[in-house]
Amino acid sequence: MKVVDLENIDSTNSYAKSNIDTLEDKTLVFARRQNSGRGRLNRSWVDLGEGNLFLSFVLKPADKYRKILPNLTQYLSVCLCKVLETYGLKTQIKWPNDVLINGKKIAGILSETVMQGSILKGLVLGIGVNLNAQKYDVEQIPDRVVTALNIELNHNVDLDKFFNELTDEFFKGYDSFLENGFAQIKQDYIQRNCFIGKELNVQVFNSVEKGLAKSVNDNGELVLLNKDNKEIVLTIGDIL
């Protein structure tokens, strides 16, 4: 794999998409600072300064879109959990791919595909992880309860070491995930969940679906039971 190491960038995902033609498969776009990061549903990802992880994986697994590609965000969330757990922390996943520590969000994951007609030019899988931040700064982030790894550990975190740990974990199972899909990580994913068995409100674009979280199926979709005891299967959404 190749690494593009940038000092300061608006967004590693934007850089990767703009340069998708020249970047090789499994290239890592890494920035020391990022000032216009984005999350799901067009949310901004707040830059908490240097020492935090801003990373995009450039992936070109095939020339045609495959239905398992969106599940790579869930695969990456499991990989991140496994790395954080080596630091002695207990992790949770909120569907589809939010990683929490003590109920507080520590990372944002965003996947974007680049198509030319029916040809898949590449997939850009971005992640931002709060590794070193001031407690005051994370408390100022609106609408979300957020933490950083150094806050949970009470000491600073080595960014380069964490980068290597996460990318090694990702590529260790990446090729087999392309073959097996969500089924490969389903058990790891579900055992870390914080939502099954709870009554949920899930924003899906401009509407809200309500129901009891019954399960996550073999495609990584969330299955709700509504008030009429009918199943609602959600491919995309945001638990409110």
Residue by residue, pLDDT tens for the chain (240 residues) are: 899 999 889 899 999 999 999 999 999 999 988 876 555 555 555 667 789 999 999 999 999 999 999 999 999 999 999 999 999 999 999 999 999 999 999 999 999 999 999 999 999 999 999 999 999 888 888 778 999 999 999 999 999 999 999 999 999 999 999 999 999 999 999 999 999 999 999 999 999 999 999 999 999 999 999 999 999 999 999 999
Contact (Cβ atoms closer than 8 angstroms) between residue 90 and residue 106: no
Measured distance CA(55)–CA(36) in Å, rounded: 13
pLDDT of residue 209: 97
How many CB atoms are closer than 10 A to CB 8? 12
What pLDDT is stored for residue 189 in this prediction? Answer: 98
Burial of 225 (0-12, 13-18, 19+ CB in 10 A): middle
Give the pLDDT confidence score for residue 40 in this predicted structure: 52
Residue 59: what are its φ and ψ, rounded to 5°? -125, 130
If we measure between CA atoms, which residue out of 133, 170, 137 comes closest to residue 56? 170
pTM strictly above 0.85: yes
